[in-house]
Chains A and B, each alone.
Chain A
Amino acid sequence: MISLSEIDITVKRATKAVGFSWGIAEEVGKGISLLEMFGLPGIKNLNQYYKIYKDKKFQNISLISKSNISKISYCPIISGINFLDQIFTLKELPEINFENIAFPILFIPFISRSSEIVGKKIFLKIDQREFLLNFNQSIYSNYLEGNRIIEKANKIKIIFLENENTFNKNDWKELYNLSRETFVDESEELKKTAAGAGLTDND
C-alpha cells in the first residue's frame, strides 16, 4: 500500500511538473492525501486531470463570488486554492454556486479545509452527489461509486451550515433525564457537607 506521506510528496512533485508553483503543489499534495485518507479517489482523478492539463485550456478563477459561471471549465485546483484563500469573505455568503468545474473531486479537499478554518460544517453538492464536510475531520457523503473519475461538474453548490444541533429540545430533554438517573438524591445533611465547603456562605 502506498503511504499518505508518499502520496503527499509524489503529488507535490507531479503538480510542480505540470506547471503549478511549489506553494500550490504543497497544497495539492496535502489535499490528495486527505482525499485518499477519507477513501475518495484523489490519485485517480488527479492523474487523469494532469494527463490532459497541458493540452486543454482551463479557466483560472480569481475572485470568487456568489455565482461563478464559465464556458471553459474551471481548474479545480486554482478554484480550490482561491476558495481557501478567500474563505474569510466567502463565509458571509449564504450560498456559493459554480458552473462547470473540471474534475470536481479535486476541489473537495480545499472546501474540507475551509470548513476547519471557519469552524462551520459545509454542505457541498456536486451535481447529484452530496457531501457534508465536517471541520476537515470527516466527509459524509452519498457518493459511493468508489473509484470513478468525474471529469466535470455542471453545477456545484456550497452552503456554510450554522453551528446548530441536529436534534430538537425534546430529544435532548429525554436523554438528559435519563442521564439524571445516575445521580444521588441528597439528604439535608449531605447538602450541607458533601460539597466540602464551609457551613456558612460567607466564611
Chain B
Amino acid sequence: MEVQLRDPKVVMKLSKLGSFHQSKLSFLRSFLKEFKDWKYKRDLFQLDENGYGRAVYSLRKNNRTYSLVCFANQISDEERSDRVIATKWDTAFALHDGIPTKKDLDRLYEDVPKQEIGRLSYKELTLSRANKSMRIFNHVVESLSQGIQPNKDKIMEVGYLYRTTAVYGSGKFGLADRFRIKNRDEICGPFRLEMMLVYLVREFTFDQVNHIAKQKNPRKAVELDKDICRNLGIGNSTGLGMAPFIINHPTLLNNWIFAKEISLKKIREIENVKDCEAELFIKLLKKSLKNITSWNTDSEFQREKIFGLLRDMKKLINFLNKGFDFKDKYSFNELYLWCEKNLKDECIEYVVSLMMEPYDKIINPLIEQMSVDEEKYFNIPTQKNIENLRNILEANYSEIIKIDFSKKENNQNFWFISKNKEEPRLADRYIDHGAELEQPLAIARDIKILYQRISNIKNSLSIGRFLIENNDLRHVVRRAFISENFPYAEIQDNIIGHQLMPIDMLRLKLSFFGAVKFDPRSDKWLRICMFQGAPLLNDLKSFDDGWIYNYLN
C-alpha cells in the first residue's frame, strides 16, 4: 500500500507548524546518539567560593577536540534580564575549536562576556550566555549545603538551573563560518555545535551548584543527586529573533519537514506492526500523560493547548482500549486516519512524533538528510520561462494567491531590524513608523504581486529577460523556483496578516531542536526547556532513547 505524503498546503500552515513537537528527528536527541563514543574531560575548573571564575570542558573524538569555555560572573539581581537588551549575564560561554591556550582563554575572557558587542575568532564555533533561574538556583545550593536534596516538585516545575537567552553560531560576531566545519565527518546534522554547547553548559551548572554548596558548608554539603541532575535541563528564552530564520532558509526548512513527512509516510505503510513496536508506542503514550502535566505556563493560549492535548490524548487512549488492534494490517495508518478525523493538530502532531519512536531504522537515515548546502540552490534558473513560473505559482502557492492584500488586515504587520539590537522585530504598519524599511519577509504578498505581474506576460519569455525589468521581485522569483524542488520550503500563510501568531514560527523551529515545556510569555517570546531527562555525560555510552518522556518520581 502506498500512502501519499501529507499535502504541503496543510502541513505548512502556521497553526499546524505551531503544533509540532519534539521527536526522534529532533537535533538534541540525534546529537546525543551521535556523541555516544566521544571522550569527555573537565580540563579546568577555577571558581571561587561563590561560583565565579572560569571552567573548560572538552569533548574529543579521534583527533578532534571541542572545548566549552565558561565564564561565571557576579551580577546584581537588577542587572539580570532575559531580554535581548541585557548587557550582563550570570554566565557566558563559547565553544572553542580545539584546546584553548592560556592566551585564547585570556582573549575569550575579554570578549565572551560582552556577547554581541564582543568579537570572536574563527577558532570559536558557537557563543551563548545564561542566567540563573531565580526560582530554584539558590534553593538547590541551600539544600545541598545543608546536606539535603532539593525539593523535587520545585525541580520539575522549573526544569533547569540556568536559562540561556541566545545561542549564536555560523559566523556571527566573528565566529567560524559554516564552510569551515561543514565537511567534518564527526558532526553530521544541523545545529550540532549549538546542541553541544548547551549540553556541556548543563554539565557546568551541576558542577557549579555542587561547588558552591561545598564551599558554603564543606562538612555537611552533599552533591546533587544524579537522578535529579538528569531531570534538569537547560532553559531557553526565545524571542522574535528566531522567527525569520525559517523564512530565510527555505531549503533547510524543507529538509526538516520532509524528513518528518517521509517518516510518517513510511510508518503508515508498515503492513504488520510488531508487538514490541506497538508496546513501545503505548508505553510512551501513557508516560506522556504524566509528562505533559508537568508543562507549566501562565499563558492562557498555551494552557488551552496543553488541556486540549491532554483531552485528546485521553480520547485516543480510550479509542485504543475499545478494541483497536495493532495486529490488523496497516494499523498505524488506521490510527493516523482516526486521529486526523477526531483530534486537533496539537495532539495529531504529538502522535506523529510518538509513532516514530519504535522505528530507528526509518528515522536514522533521514536524520542524515536534514542538512543542506543552501548555496547550491541560490542561482535562479533564468533559462526557464514564464509558463514554468506561472505553473509553479499556481501549483505551490494556490492558497497564497487567493489572499486579498488590498484589505488592511492582510497587510497589518511589517518585519524590521531594530537599530538598537540588530535583531528582527514586528510592528503594526498603520501605527508604528519604519514600514518603508520592511524586511523581505512578506513572501505571501510578494508572491501575489509576482503572480499578478506575470498575468499578461507571454509564456515563452525567459526568466532572464523578465528579470531585466522586474528585479524588484527577484527575491520571490528565486523562492518560487526553490519551491519547485522543495515542496515543504514555504510557509503557506501570510506572516504580515493581523492573525499572525509569531510564536507558531518559534515553536516550529524549537520542536526540531527538541525543546519541551513551551511556556509563552507573550505572543512573541517564550521559554522552553532542553535536555530535561537527558543522560548525563557519563551515561552517554548506553542510555534509553526514550529519555525525553521521563518524569522524576
Contact = CB atoms under 8 A, between A and B. Distances in A.
A81 B474 CA distance: 11
Contacts of A86: 382, 464-465
B379 A26 contact: no
A63 B177 CA distance: 36
Nearest to B466: A85
B542 to A, nearest CB: 38
B172 A85 contact: no
Contacts of B172: 3, 5-6
Contact of B176 (A3, A62, A87, A113): A3
Contact of A26 (B177, B469, B478): B478
B176 A24 contact: no
Interface size class of B (residues with CB under 8 A): 35 or more
B378 A30 contact: yes
B118 interface: no
B382 A87 contact: yes
A1 to B, nearest CB: 6
Contact of B382 (A20, A23, A85): A85
Contacts of A1: 121-122, 174
A63 B382 CA distance: 14
Contact of A84 (B178, B382, B478): B382
A6 B176 CA distance: 10
Contact of A23 (B121, B468, B478): B478
Contacts of A21: 471-475
Interface in B366-410: 375, 378-380, 382-383
Contacts of B178: 5
B177 A5 contact: yes
A20 B172 CA distance: 24
Provide the main secondary structure of the chain B interface.
helix
A86 to B, nearest CB: 5
A82 B471 CA distance: 10
A166 to B, nearest CB: 27
Provide the main secondary structure of the chain A interface.
helix
A26 B472 CA distance: 12
Contacts of B462: 88
Contacts of A2: 174
Interface in A94-130: 113, 117
B352 interface: no
B171 interface: yes
Given A82-B468, A85-B382, A4 B475 contact: no
Interface of A: 1-6, 13, 20-24, 26-27, 30, 62-63, 81-82, 84-89, 113, 117
Interface of B: 121-122, 170-179, 375, 378-380, 382-383, 417, 440, 462-465, 467-469, 471-478
Leading 8 A-B pairs by shortest Cβ distance: A23-B474, A5-B171, A3-B171, A22-B440, A23-B475, A85-B464, A88-B383, A85-B382
16 contacts: A3-B174, A4-B171, A4-B179, A6-B173, A21-B474, A23-B474, A24-B474, A62-B469, A85-B380, A85-B464, A86-B382, A87-B382, A88-B462, A89-B464, A113-B379, A117-B379
Given A6-B172, A26-B474, A82-B468, 13 more contacts: A3-B122, A4-B171, A6-B173, A22-B440, A23-B471, A23-B477, A30-B378, A62-B468, A62-B469, A81-B467, A84-B382, A88-B383, A88-B462
